[in-house]
Amino acid sequence: MSFGEQTATVQAAMPAPRFEITHAAHLAFAASPTMVFQAIATEPGDHDIQSLALSVQVMIEPAKRGYDPDTRGRLVELFGPPARWAASTQGLQWGQVAVTVRGFRDSTTFAIELPCTYDLEVATAKYFHALSDGEVPLGFHFSGQVFYREGGGRLQVAPVPWSRTAQFRMPIAAWRAMIAEHYPGGGWIRLADDTLCTLNERRAARGLPTFDACVKELLSQEAGDAR
């Protein structure tokens, strides 16, 4: 047997788990916005898996869905003119998390908890905020290590193949439900310290009860000046 054939035989004998994403919902009562994806790990070979130590990268794949004219208008800031979208909508990294999966044989379920933000200066939040309905095409990319026992009972370690991916279309309603729980009736923007101090001084000087009221007054004045 040649070296190449020996290598192929060893690789064929190693576990090569596959993954599927089945559901998405926000983590209720979490301290900060967190999306939970329910997943299935399947081992097609005859291996007793002791555990999986995974790194999961979650990518938004904007090119895999269509957009109505209003949504395209809201996405121009993020992707540029629609004529360029074939090149500019290739992918946005939503996040990367570490996940440990308990031992199993054949298949098991596990959860992927992904921290989220509503900071509208972050590209992913801009994208979600621009969508009024439909689904978000997601790509899950898995890497890491498989711990398993061979026939003699000895613990072995093998890499998760780089080719392991899973596709999932998350309803945008799931993201909106998560944001509504943490920011009911509102949103969140980040301001520089000096901008915040200036805004607070104006709010106090004008006798306004909230920053929201202060910003509304400024916008109203801007609209009046424009007329």
Tens place of pLDDT per residue across the chain (227 aa): 454 544 444 444 789 899 999 999 999 999 999 999 999 999 988 889 999 999 999 999 999 999 999 999 999 999 999 999 999 998 999 999 999 999 999 999 999 999 998 887 789 999 999 999 999 999 999 999 999 988 777 899 999 988 899 999 999 999 999 999 988 887 777 888 999 999 999 999 999 998 889 999 999 887 777 66
Cβ(32)–Cβ(188) below 8 Å = no
| The token pair that represents 73 in the structure block | 């208008």
What are the structural domain ranges in the chain?
Answer: 3-182, 193-226
Distances, alpha carbon 94 to alpha carbons 47, 185, 206, in Å: 33, 24, 40
pTM greater than 0.85 (yes/no): no
Q: Which residues of 15-38 are buried (b: 16+ CB within 10 A; e: fewer)?
A: bbbbbebeebebbeebeebebbbe
DSSP code of residue 63: G
The pLDDT value recorded for residue 63 is: 95
Q: Which CATH number fits domain 3-182: 2.60.40, 3.90.1690, 2.40.128, 1.20.120?
A: 2.60.40
As a whole number of angstroms, the distance between CA 137 and CA 128 comes to 11
The pLDDT value recorded for residue 183 is: 86
The pLDDT value recorded for residue 10 is: 44
The pLDDT value recorded for residue 94 is: 96
As a whole number of angstroms, the distance between CA 13 and CA 151 comes to 11
The pLDDT value recorded for residue 226 is: 65
Largest CA distance in the chain: 86
The pLDDT value recorded for residue 151 is: 72
